[in-house]
Chain A
């Protein structure tokens, strides 16, 4: 459950800093691919679903990244930029082909087996997969067990282990040692025993890099360090490895923080066990620089790509105007919506939430984010490429009057204000409501539109703009602050399951006092119960249907005001046959990309 991290602030912000984080696989298989075409793709531009997967073997790809990696340890990595490297050097139990959201057996031999009671998951591993030097030996199920166990080690502290794997027996109290619910009956079989019927959720989460094998005898000493520095000595199972020395040291060799990373072929990788073609001989990643300069270097260069969490809007436009073949637009890069406080203040009144939704000019808001090239007007909460999107109404969304006019409808807004008990059609409650937005465009422009809409409806606002991370950490993620409106919160699922989109963000049982991501504090007992039931549903199609129904209920509840489904624009040099990862917000896939 990762949402969008802006960075970098990095805006630095430079980055604002920030970073649109993303990970996740999404969607459904063949049907999901089709869905992504109709829902979220941009006509006339290549996308992960339309790119050719063929390529020429050899060559060195130059990668220009404005921002540095956060974590390259498969047990910690969580953001899209990190995933681009981690998924080239590691093999989780399951992973995604670049043009699909359907998990493909990777380290696993075939599909997982879920017991009829939905409480046991069995996965068989392929034989003949070896760790890279200096470990060299064959991977066993014990290595996968250790990889997951170390995630619970505080020195590693995996950020999602308790969110998706807490139903494994012994997991809630695990601290890095053996977990009772994870057993390895033989060298190539691993079994997960669950305390709750959540087999499907665990299976979906097996695409996360936490399940990439880690050799215990080699890694234990690094994991004893506080914090673990296994990333600096990591070994690989994928087609590539971070360049290292004879002792396995990567730091300063294959990864120089803030400067560069170098991926070379893993000499122990056996192509027969993998579905990746691994065309490239080497990937050289240069870190740093200004996004507009990097963008131009890529567009005017030959063998390079930019693989940042966000390419500068000006560069996307430049590529769209000058050479479409150098631009890939990937659907399913998450969503932005307005969190309104369902618990306290005027927006605890459902009709005022609907009035706000109806009045809002969502078209103007998505225009600020780059327009139809890289956005769609959001009409409900499950986003394109995630199973359940079509069932929840597709691009058009549920047919309720306050959702019908993306450019805003004053009359409908007035209707709901009157229903809320304000006869004049304007809000006359009198109190001042707090609106806390994120500084820097386009979030700032969106926040201004939101604030003006509220004023037009009669609200008196205290409007504050802060850094993106501050908005979450101090205001919108802290219920006691009682913020009425957060104009631009964002979410990207960790993998292609609608639960990963809706559960933490709208389930009342997930509300926490700090770091809360159910920003609007939606706590509808009916919806909570529906989510609990949907959690236990097995089968992608059945889950899509169940969660789509919840999505519709959230719209009928106007639990939040959706405005933007993101698409990610990525650029490549003239001599690059780039292949983007549909499941990872379109990041270039080093295992499939080639040089022409």
Chain B
């Protein structure tokens, strides 16, 4: 198992280098990818472009630029500087992480509790009104893009522009350390919006998986032997949860994509919003930094999920 984990970590690092290379190359081959041209205004004179390229180090060979970048990232965890604000990308990201972590963790908790809870209840009462209602709602949430859902939530429930002025609206985020209650209330809508889609997927998956499991012979045997129903269900849930855990790793990626949209709609100053502005401004250093962070997040999450998978299902062993 230890060897497996070490191997996964090494692969993770290799993958990060590949992601680095891909983002580096992609943004430099895009026709709009030369920040010097963008920086030179709408009448970009060749001399000015050349000077800006020199100042930003963009006139060096691509391989040199990439090697410098890689060295800085791997040896010093230096992600470079924003072309616009001149601030260190590392500090920009570090500063933006708490809101994104707040959003992501809260949403993940909601979607796990909500998704699994609804899935289990639906599976235990299949074809009931509750089941049909819950699965219908799940379908709606799966189909609804986060951006749209966020707008609907704001127009319905935001205290400034909503029909029912219940929750703080866009731009109301305050850090946890500043005011825990305001932090909590400002994130209620974003949590629900971000969690809705994933919770719906998890609910449907859990329902299907549990219904199948509860039809298994060993469940029937357990019941026949008089095992308490609560324990039977617990056994069934544990057996059904493997596909959920597998999906969890994949959903982390979706979560980050969703966080970008939700942070934009609710104006939460997190990494997603940072990435959004960087894309708009073609601020490559920042884009690369946020992509790298996202990749790292997904890789780590997948390693954790794989280990958790082995823990949950003793039949799974890694060599």
Binding site for B on A (CB under 8 A): 1-3, 5, 7-10, 12-18, 21, 64, 67-71, 78, 154-155, 157, 159-160, 162-163, 225-227, 229, 231-232, 251-252, 255, 257-259, 286-290, 292-294, 296-297, 300-301, 467, 469-470, 473-474, 504, 512-515, 517
For the complex, give the distance between the alpha carbons of A290 and B148 in Å: 11
Query: Is the CB of B264 closer than 8 A to any CB of chain A?
Result: yes
Residues of B within 8 A of A517 (CB): 42-43
Per the 8 Å Cβ criterion, residues 17-66 of B in contact with A are 30-32, 34, 37-49, 51-52, 54-57
- A13 and B280 contact, CB distance less than 8 A: yes
Instruction: Give which listed residue, A7, A16, A287, A290, contacts B265 with CB less than 8 A.
Output: A290
| Bound-state Cα–Cα, A467 to B38, Å | 14
| CA–CA, A231 and B83, complex, Å | 12
**A296 nearest CB neighbor, chain B only:** B161
Supposing A154-B51, A293-B161 touch, asked if A232 and B86 sit within 8 A by C-beta, the answer is yes
Closest Cβ of chain B to A318, distance in Å, is 11
Are A163 and B84 in contact, CB atoms less than 8 angstroms apart? no
| B85 contacts chain A at the CB level, 8 A cutoff | yes
Contacting residue for B160 out of A226, A229, A300, CB 8 A:
A300
Contact string against A for B residues 260-285, beta-carbon threshold 8 Å, 1 for contact and 0 otherwise: 00001111010001101101111000
Task: Given A226-B55, A293-B151, verify A71-B31 contact (CB < 8 Å).
Answer: no
Contact B86–A227 (Cβ < 8 Å)? yes
Would you call B237 an interface residue if the criterion is a C-beta within 8 Å of the partner chain's C-beta atoms? no
Q: Are A157 and B161 in contact (CB under 8 A)?
A: no
Kindly list chain A residues whose C-beta atoms are within 8 Å of the C-beta of B282.
469
Q: Which of A67, A157, A232, A292 contacts B277 (CB 8 A)?
A: A67
What is the distance, in angstroms, from B58's C-beta to the closest C-beta of chain A?
11
Smallest beta-carbon distance A491→chain B, Å: 8
Taking a contact as CB atoms under 8 Å apart, the answer to whether B42 and A5 are in contact is yes
B38 touches A469 (CB 8 A): yes
Interface residues on chain B, size class: 35 or more
Q: B185 on the interface (CB 8 Å rule)?
A: no
Query: Closest CB of chain A to B108's CB: distance in Å?
Result: 23
Interface string of B70-97 (1 = CB under 8 A from A): 0000000000001111110000100010
10 CB contacts below 8 A, A to B, read: A10-B279, A12-B280, A16-B280, A157-B48, A159-B40, A251-B85, A258-B269, A259-B269, A290-B265, A517-B42
Q: How far is the CA of A229 from the CA of B87 in the complex (A)?
A: 9
| A21 pairs with B280, CB closer than 8 A | no
Q: Say yes or no: B154 contacts A293, CB within 8 Å.
A: yes
Task: Please give me the 4 A-B residue pairs with the lowest Cβ-Cβ distance, nearest first.
Answer: A159-B41, A474-B31, A515-B44, A289-B267
Q: Which residues of A contact B169 (CB under 8 A)?
A: 293, 297
**Which residue of chain B lies nearest to A504 when distances are taken between CB atoms in the complex?**
B43
**B86 x A225 contact (CB < 8 A):** yes
In the complex, B171 has a CB within 8 A of chain A: yes
Known contacts A5-B42, A154-B52; decide if A290 and B264 are in contact (CB<8 Å): yes
Within the complex, what minimum Cβ distance (angstroms) separates A473 from chain B? 5
The answer to whether B151 and A292 have CB atoms under 8 Å apart is yes
Q: Whole-angstrom distance from the CB of B194 to the nearest CB of chain A? A: 15
Kindly count the residue-residue contacts between A and B in the assembled complex, taking CB atoms under 8 Å apart.
167
Given contacts A64-B171, A159-B42, A290-B170, 4 further A-B contacts (CB under 8 A): A16-B280, A290-B267, A300-B160, A515-B46
Chain A residue with Cβ nearest B83: A227
A255 to B86, CA, bound (A): 12
Which residues of B does A touch, CB under 8 Å?
30-32, 34, 37-49, 51-52, 54-57, 82-87, 92, 96, 147, 150-151, 154-155, 160-161, 169-171, 264-267, 269, 273-274, 276-277, 279-282
A45 to chain B, nearest CB (A): 23
Nearest B residue to A491 via CB reads B42
Contact status A289-B265, CB under 8 Å: yes
Q: A288-B264, A290-B264, A293-B154 are in contact. Are A8 and B280 (CB under 8 A)?
A: yes
Interface centre among A9, A15, A70, A470 (most CB of B within 10 A): A70
Asked whether A297 lies within 8 Å of B161 as measured between CB atoms, the reply is: yes
| Cα(A30)–Cα(B118), bound, Å | 70
Cα(A14)–Cα(B282), bound, Å: 12
Q: Is the CB of B41 within 8 A of A160?
A: yes
| Contact yes or no, B52 A157, CB < 8 A | yes
Q: How far is the CA of A155 from the CA of B39 in the complex (A)?
A: 12
Residue of A15, A225, A296, A469 near B32 (CB, 8 A) is A469
Collect the chain A residues with CB atoms within 8 Å of residue B49's CB.
Answer: 514-515
Partner of B280, one of A10, A259, A293, A512: A10
Residues of B within 8 A of A301 (CB): 160
Given contacts A71-B84, A226-B55, contact A1 B42 (CB under 8 A): yes
- Residues A290 and B151 in contact in the complex (CB < 8 Å), given A157-B55, A227-B55: yes
- CB of A319, distance to nearest CB on chain B (Å): 14
Q: Smallest Cβ distance from A240 to chain B, in angstroms? A: 20
Residues from chain A with a CB closer than 8 A to the CB of B274 are: 258
**Which chain B residue lies CB-closest to A258?**
B277
Q: Are A9 and B280 in contact (CB under 8 A)?
A: yes
Most chain A beta carbons < 10 A, residue from B31, B34, B147: B31
Cα(A229)–Cα(B82), bound, Å: 11
Partner of B85, one of A232, A292, A469, A512: A232
Rounded to whole Å, the gap between the CB of B218 and the closest CB of chain A is: 51
Alpha-carbon separation in the docked complex, A12 to B276 (Å) = 8
Minimal Cβ-Cβ distance residue in B for A510: B43
B148 to chain A, nearest CB (A): 11
Q: Which residue of B lies closest to A78 (CB)?
A: B41
Instruction: Name the residue among B46, B51, B85, B147 with the largest chain A CB count within 10 angstroms.
Output: B85
Give the residue of B31, B154, B279 whose beta carbon is less than 8 angstroms from that of A470: B31
Please name the residue on chain A nearest to B41 by beta carbon: A159
B45 near A515 with CB under 8 A, answer yes
B276 to chain A, nearest CB (A): 7
B46 contact set on A, CB distance < 8 A: 512-515
How many angstroms from the CA of A512 to the CA of B37 in the assembled complex? 13
